[in-house]
Amino acid sequence: MHLRFADLNDPGCKECLELAEHASHAVDFQKTGTPVKFQDIPRLKKQPKPDFLSREGRDPTGENFYNSKKLLGHLFRRVPLEHWTPDEWDGVDSPSNGEVIEHALRGVGLYGLGLPALERPLEELHKEMQYLLDEYCDQLTAIGRVHTLSRNKDIPVSEAELVSGTLMANWSDHHRRREAVNAMNLQVSINFRLVMPEPCLILSRHMNSSVLCGLKCE
Amino acid sequence: MRVREADHQQDEDEDDTLDDYDYDEEDFYRENRLITEHFKRAWAAWYVAEETLREYPASYGPQSFGFIALGRMLELIKAAKQLL
């Protein structure tokens, strides 16, 4: 409210000073025992707000907002907004473009580095990794379902959102959004550790030991 | 007498140098084996993720699993390069 009055008039205007006084009284409530009367607080009812106060997902150029002439308005409008969306995946081919990656890996010269050739893994290792993948997918799906914004709880948050640590949906409550993203990130990082545990072998005198930690070391 | 002592000292120094060299070489091979072993595992993980994606392109999880494995492989390639 203070920002709105200050934007319409001036930070030293009568309403702003009144608000500051009421805020001061409210802070002293525990000492004085006298609450602030809400009806005494100056308000702006049904008037458009300055555009920099538009919340996420709202159109700041709509009729409920006006272009603020103050510095905050200028700064707000200077933030570039690009509505870019990637090409939609066809849903048929593998989305990872694995052949390109494999080709690039073969070009590294693994043999010269003393690394093994890129062949089909031995059956036992293949089975182990398949088990690990299944476990990882189950955990990730469970996390995705917990954080879904859909009414249907069987539709999880997308894998890309989980891994990148962001939610694309519009939330009006920033605080709740931040809490949700933090909780999601924590759970995903725990799941990552299932695949990539802490360094288990520290040998190196030549390199950082974290480089040596491998996938699911025994 | 002094010459003998000096020779003896020189032999000891050479032994120490040889021990250091053996230790370094042993260490190098041990680290190399370790990197190779981890690389095999990371490659197997990526391989399995790709297999799943080819069969079920819309499946939930293999993409990020493959990314983690790929990241590990790249780290290990870097480590192998540093070792040389």
**Facing residue for B70 by CB, picked from A101, A120, A216:** A101
Number of domains in chain B: 1
ipTM: 0.71
Determine the structural domain holding residue A170 and report its residue range: 122-212
- What does the pLDDT look like over A19-74, one tens digit per residue? 999 999 999 998 988 888 888 888 888 888 998 888 766 778 888 899 999 999 99
Number of domains in chain A: 2
Q: What is the rounded CA–CA span in Å between residue A197 and residue A190?
A: 9
Q: Which helix (H) or strand (E) holds A65?
A: strand A65-66
Q: Which helix (H) or strand (E) holds B7?
A: helix B2-55
Residue type, A44: L
Q: What is the rounded CA–CA span in Å between residue B23 and residue A101?
A: 37
From chain A, pick out residues whose CB is under 8 angstroms from the CB of B61. Answer: 133, 136-138, 140-141, 159
Closest CA to A113 of B76, B60, B63, B30: B76
Final residue belonging to a domain, choices A45, A78, A111: A78
pTM, rounded to two decimals: 0.59
Quick check: A105 contacting B, CB < 8 Å? yes
Handedness of CA B83, B69, A177, A51 (dihedral sign): positive
Final residue belonging to a domain, choices A17, A52, A78: A78
CB contact under 8 A, A95 and B60: no
Angle, helix A123-146 to helix A174-195, in steps of 10 degrees: 170
